[in-house]
Amino acid sequence: MHDFSGLMIEMEIHVNETIMKRGLTYYRGNRILDADIFPTHVHGVVNGKGDDYDTIVYLDQFEQSICTCPFNGYCKHIAALVFFLQDHKELRENETISFSAEISSFSKDDLVQMVQTLGEKNSFIRQAVLDYIKEKP
Ligand SMILES: [Zn+2]
């Protein structure tokens, strides 16, 4: 199991505060679509403005971290991935968090239960589900 706390310290050294704040907003906005944990690095897919970016954060060499977005330097996608890792310390090597993989492991009853629960909690989700049903051919 990884302890990602060193990454947080590295990020605070290398990434400016504005970018870190944007990264935190991105993380809280559930923009981390995938995170694969490897022995030396984490590969994340981060939903950016109009595009999804591949972001790699190196666990022991933060300075090497890179992203496919046009920003020059340490970007909010890198920061978002680091914040994500802070809250997912239980992740093990070679473990993937994938939205589609998670979803497909549910039974129909569980999915109905999930949509109901989320829809009751969140009016945006409720509306999104209703819109989806309406638009479905
Ligand atoms: Zn980026």
- Ligand 1 centroid to Cα of residue 100, in Å, is 22
**Looking at 8-22, 34-48, 63-77, 84-98, which range is the least confident one?**
84-98
Residues 30, 51, single domain; the answer is yes
Return the percentage of the chain with pLDDT > 70, whole number. 89
Distance CA 67, CA 78 (A): 7
pLDDT for the residue numbered 128: 85
For residue range 3-22, list pLDDT tens digits in order: 677 899 999 999 999 999 99
- Ligand 1 centroid to Cα of residue 26, in Å, is 11
3-state DSSP assignment of residue 53:
strand
Q: Decide which of 60 and 1 is more confident.
A: 60
Residues 13, 80, single domain; the answer is yes
- Ligand 1 centroid to Cα of residue 96, in Å, is 20
Residues 63, 89, single domain; the answer is yes
Torsion, CA 75, CA 60, CA 33, CA 48, rounded to 10: 10
pLDDT for the residue numbered 55: 97
Residues 94, 117, single domain; the answer is no
Long-range contacts of 119-125 (CB under 8 A, 24+ apart): none
Please say if the pLDDT value at position 94 is more than 60.
no
- Ligand 1 centroid to Cα of residue 87, in Å, is 20
Residues 112, 94, single domain; the answer is no
Residues 53, 112, single domain; the answer is no
Number of H helices, E strands in the chain: 6, 5
- Ligand 1 centroid to Cα of residue 118, in Å, is 30
Residues 71, 40, single domain; the answer is yes
Mean pLDDT within 68-74: 94
- Ligand 1 centroid to Cα of residue 11, in Å, is 14
pLDDT for the residue numbered 98: 63
Where do the H-state alpha helices sit in 87-122? 99-104, 108-121
Confidence tier at 135 by pLDDT (50, 70, 90)? confident
Residues 54, 120, single domain; the answer is no
Residues 6+ apart with CB under 8 A from 19: 74, 75, 76, 79
Residue span of the structural domain in which 120 resides: 106-135
- Ligand 1 centroid to Cα of residue 128, in Å, is 28
Residues 15, 74, single domain; the answer is yes
For residue range 14-59, list pLDDT tens digits in order: 999 999 999 999 999 999 999 988 888 999 999 998 899 999 999 9
pLDDT for the residue numbered 89: 72
Number of domains in the chain: 2
